[in-house]
Amino acid sequence: MKLKLFVSIVLFLLMVACTPTAVSPEPEIASRPTVIATAVAQPTEPSTLEPSPTAVLATPTPVPPPTETAVPVILAPRFDKFLPFAQTEGGSNSLTGLVQGENGWQIVNIPYPSGLDSEELGFAPAITSVDSDYAPATNRVLAWTYEGGAGPGSIAVGKLLLVNVGTGELEVILSENVVAAGWAPNGLDFAYILATDETYELRWHTAAGDDRLLAVDVPHSLRISPDGRTVAFTRESHYELPNAIPGLYVVEIETGLETQVSPLDRAGYGGSGLFWKPQWTPDSSQLFLYAAQDDDRAPEAHPAGYVWAAVNGSFSHFLPESAFLNFFTDEPLRDPENYRCLDSPPLFAANKLVIGIGECQPFVGIPETSQSVHFTLDPQTGTVTLSAVLLTPDTAQLLTWDMPSESVLISDDGEIISVGIESVETE
């Protein structure tokens, strides 16, 4: 409990650093701390959650030549699944992932390089990273630091680092003004956001050293599709970009053709971490994005919820939080004494969502414990249907998909358990 509250406070402070000063951000939703696990077990307790009866291309910016610095790290096996949202004692200055062995799944936590030369690298070890992305294909990590604000909205920026987990080598790829980055599936190419005086550039960098512009006015959030062909990003209000049309977009890496898939965005709220980024379905056909409550954008004012859209334009829906919570409460959703809220991050697959729901902690915005719930989403109408309350203890933490659309991995009391998402059927 104390550790989770500490992590929530740290993430909240990072979120404030990443959000324009003109907007008062909502607290970032964090996940519960994970525990290093060494065994596989079957769930032993039934579900405790019962539903209620009512339910144009600019000139490329020159990229500084990389500076290499070898730093000793704790070597680790290649992650089979990366858990960028999982926080342990290392806080945001660590890597957390899952490794599958003879005894099943095990959570492994690796601290970022210790003993960094702050004079040579230009930053203190205590702020080694704000966020990171891991490439299973090459066992390497992109990490970016916070060293101040830059760009029209004075967003948090810093260096872009490359950490080879297998050899312990660390390289400074870009020395300043990087907002965010993300790997392509090959673990060699990557996309990143660079702050300039006029805008925020979404750029594409290849393993051969080619660096080109994909889009402008991209202040914060990006995610490359699992098939490696497209980058999803947001243009957002409240970032001092008067010519930007807010919304969720995709841009083709090969052609530079961009398309708006939804007029909704994060409304200028948000922080670092997976929860705040566009999320792809495994087949690269659909996108999901958390959209904070925004009362200032008539006629698109909306409560907190999720953007759900098809990349081919066949549908685009907004799913308010109440569409999920109404199945489990007869009380007002914001009753200060007792109300339920959604845990994070949710897991998405085509037309399916698994998310934790539990009683909210005051002033934190996340539940201390939650029950994992499977919902089915109708692409034609945007209707949310309760499909199953998973057969898991309410103390378990939802980690990631085991088999997308079929089963999830959870952590409970040091054990990693695979649970089918239809494990408890509703009437």
The domain limits of the chain are: 2-55+68-111+127-420
The answer to whether residue 247 scores a pLDDT higher than 70 is yes
Q: Which two tokens stand for residue 358?
A: 């539990």
> Averaged over 105-115, what is the pLDDT?
69
CA torsion through residues 288, 294, 297, 298, sign: positive
Q: How far apart are CA 381 and CA 372, in angstroms?
A: 24
The dihedral built from the CA positions of residue 211, 217, 221 and 225, taken in this order, carries a sign that is: negative
Residue 266 has pLDDT above 60, yes or no: yes
Highest mean pLDDT among 9-23, 59-73, 119-133, 285-299: 285-299
Q: How far is CA 412 from the centre of its chain?
A: 22
Which of 29-43, 66-80, 99-113 comes out lowest in average pLDDT? 29-43
83 sits in which H/E element: none
- The vertex-174 CA angle with 188 and 256, nearest 5°, equals 55
> Is the model's pLDDT at 296 over the cut of 60?
yes
pLDDT beyond 60 at 39: no
**Over residues 238-264, mean pLDDT:** 89
Q: Give per-residue pLDDT as tens, 207-232.
A: 999 999 999 999 888 999 999 999 99
Question: Torsion over CA of 156, 160, 166 and 169, rounded to 10 degrees?
Answer: -120
Reduced to 3 states, what is the DSSP secondary structure of residue 274? Answer: helix
pLDDT of amino acid 102: 85
Instruction: Please say if the pLDDT value at position 401 is more than 70.
Output: yes
**Contact (CB, 8 A) for 272 and 131:** yes
129: confidence class by pLDDT, cuts 50, 70, 90: low
Selected residue with higher pLDDT from 348 and 333: 348
Binned at pLDDT 50, 70 and 90, residue 85 comes out as low
Mean pLDDT of the chain: 75
Whether omega for the bond prior to residue 299 falls within 30 degrees of 0, making it cis, is yes
Q: For 11-20, 80-89, 158-167, which range has the lowest pLDDT when averaged over its residues?
A: 11-20
Read off the pLDDT band of 93 (50, 70, 90).
low
Task: Tell whether the model's pLDDT for residue 311 goes beyond 90.
Answer: yes
To the question of domain 2-55+68-111+127-420 being in CATH 2.130.10, the answer is: yes
Instruction: Say what the pLDDT of residue 330 is.
Output: 58
pLDDT at 163: 82
Distance CA 88, CA 79 (A): 16
Q: How far apart are CA 200 and CA 233, in angstroms?
A: 12
49: tokens are 């959650």
82: β partners: 97
What mean pLDDT comes out for the span 144-168? 85
pLDDT at 295 (0 to 100): 63
Least confident of 2-6, 164-168, 215-219, 250-254: 2-6
Q: What is the pLDDT of residue 355?
A: 93
In this prediction the pTM is 0.77
What is the distance between the alpha carbons of residues 290 and 199, in angstroms, rounded to a whole number? 23
Q: How far is 423 from 20, CA to CA, in rounded Å?
A: 43
Q: What angle do CA 96, 101, 107 make, to 5 degrees?
A: 20
Percent above pLDDT 70 for the chain: 66
Token pair belonging to 143: 């990490």
Q: Tell me: pLDDT of 277 over 60.
A: yes
- The candidate with the shortest Cα–Cα distance to 276, out of 115, 131, 111, is 131
Alpha carbon distance 167, 152 (integer Å): 38
Give the tokens for residue 395: 């103390």
User: How confident is the model at residue 124, as a pLDDT?
Assistant: 43
pLDDT band at 123 (very low <50, low <70, confident <90, very high): very low
| CA count, 13 A, side-chain hemisphere, 272 | 29
Residue 290 has pLDDT above 70, yes or no: yes
Q: What is the β-pairing status of strands 39-40 and 415-420?
A: parallel
Tell me: the pLDDT tens digits for 2-34? 334 434 444 444 443 444 433 333 333 333 333
pLDDT of residue 94: 65
Instruction: State the pLDDT at residue 284.
Output: 95
Radius of gyration of the chain (CA): 21
